[in-house]
Amino acid sequence: MNAAVRSVLLDSISIILGVFVTFWIQDLIDRAHDREEVRSALWLVRTELTNNLEDINILNEYLNQENASAKYFLQHRNDIDSCPADSLAYHSGMILAAVNATVSNDALEFLQSSSLFPKIGNSLLSMKIIRAYDSSQLTVDIANKHIADKNERFEDFINENNVNQIATQGAIDIPAFIKTDYGLYSMMWITNQVVTDQTADISDIKEALLAIDEYLRRH
């Protein structure tokens, strides 16, 4: 092999190796970039699910207190006029609270609309994340239906009976309301609801958070 041929071969090999190394390095850079993007997206999901969990816990606390307040009025129906004014105001507020439960899913929508979901590379984690969001939404849907049904009962009473039950602030006077048959029925309806049995299960959210934490530790 003469020197000219040897030089051409060495140059060709150098070029091929250079191209290979360039693509290899670029692939490493792309993978590192993808990992960082996935980690950032999962941190957003984790923050959002954590906030949703806190909101659902607060929602369940309200539902439990609403139930306890309805029981208070049932217990004191016959001596309601002798109950402390601050207690009546507190329990009336629990019954009449304007609650509209919501959860956020912006981080999930970003993850789904981008190309990052497949890059997680863990189908079980992806499934747990989606299930956690579905469970969160189902929880607030159940709670909001209960609250809407309760409010509808009060509105029916206002429309079909008399407006003398309306306080100056525009809300039903619960101590007066409980003395009526419809008020008695409404409070019994609240205490008989088992809505918290359906909204208290937060296991899907906790499981997804644990899975995300484990993934972030490993990546």
Whole-angstrom distance, CA of residue 39 vs CA of residue 46: 10
More confidently predicted of 118 and 132 = 132
Six-digit token string for 103: 């959860």
CA nearest to 218, candidates 88, 120, 86, 73: 120
Provide the residue range defining the domain that includes 206: 36-218
Within a domain: residue 104?
yes
Given a contact cutoff of 8 angstroms between Cβ atoms, the answer to whether 116 and 38 are in contact is yes
Instruction: Record the tokens describing residue 29, joined without a space.
Output: 């850079």
Residue 24 has pLDDT above 80, yes or no: no
Examine residue 138 and state whether it is found in any structural domain, yes or no.
yes
Dihedral sign for Cα 167, 171, 175, 177, please. positive
Residue 16's pLDDT band (cuts 50, 70, 90):
low
**Residue of 21 and 104 predicted with greater confidence:** 104
Give the span between the Cα atoms of 31 and 114, in whole angstroms.
Answer: 16
Predicted confidence (pLDDT) per residue in 68-113, tens digit = 999 999 999 999 999 999 999 999 989 888 788 889 898 888 888 8
- Choose between 31 and 113: higher pLDDT: 113
pLDDT digits (tens, 9 = 90+) for 152-195: 887 766 665 554 544 445 567 888 888 888 888 889 999 988 77
Give a yes or no: residue 20 inside a domain.
Answer: no
Q: Is residue 15 part of a domain?
A: no
Asked if the structure places residue 136 within a domain, the reply is yes
Task: Report if residue 30 sits inside a domain.
Answer: no
Residue 7 confidence (pLDDT) above 70? no
Which segments of the chain does DSSP mark as H helices, in order?
Answer: 3-75, 85-96, 106-113, 116-119, 123-160, 174-177, 181-192, 195-199, 203-218
Please tell me the total count of domains within the chain: 1
The span from the CA of 7 to the CA of 95, in Å, is 90
208 part of a folded domain: yes
Tokens 């499981």, residue? 207
Residue 89 forms part of a structural domain: yes
